[in-house]
Structure 1
């Protein structure tokens, strides 16, 4: 049997990711896949993350846009 010792340290300098940074990272990832995110879609994402609208409402708005 092999035993491992794992030491995990958490630095006091680690910063919590802000909503803006998380959204920017997600959008950058989508754009690297070759998709475009419009300003209207970006605004919709922020409204969703800030809980100003529900996921159901956001999806409905996107569906209406595609019609």
Structure 2
């Protein structure tokens, strides 16, 4: 996927989310683009957004 296509896709997704009353900040858009460009993994992306949201990861125990 080309960078321009990714930018347009993110802009469309942001517009849709904002129509529902939510806001997507610039950092979140950057992380999304990095994910789509395969600069970060899905695991890294999830870690970044959950930390930003203040969510504490669940401890995996047996």
* 5+ long unaligned stretches in structure 1: 1-16
3-state SS, counterpart of residue 18 of structure 1: helix
How far apart in 2 are the matches of 1:57 and 1:24? 22
Structure 2: any 5+ residue segments left out of the alignment?
A: 55-62
How many correspondences in the alignment? 51
Moved over 4 A (4+): none
Deviations 1:15-34 (A, max 9, x none): xx812111111111111111
RMSD value, Cα: 1.4
Higher relative contact order (CA 8 A, sep 6+): 2
More helix by share: 2
- Residue in structure 1 matched with residue 58 of structure 2 by the alignment: none
Is 1:46 matched with 2:50? Answer: no
After TM superposition, the score normalised by the length of structure 2 is 0.73
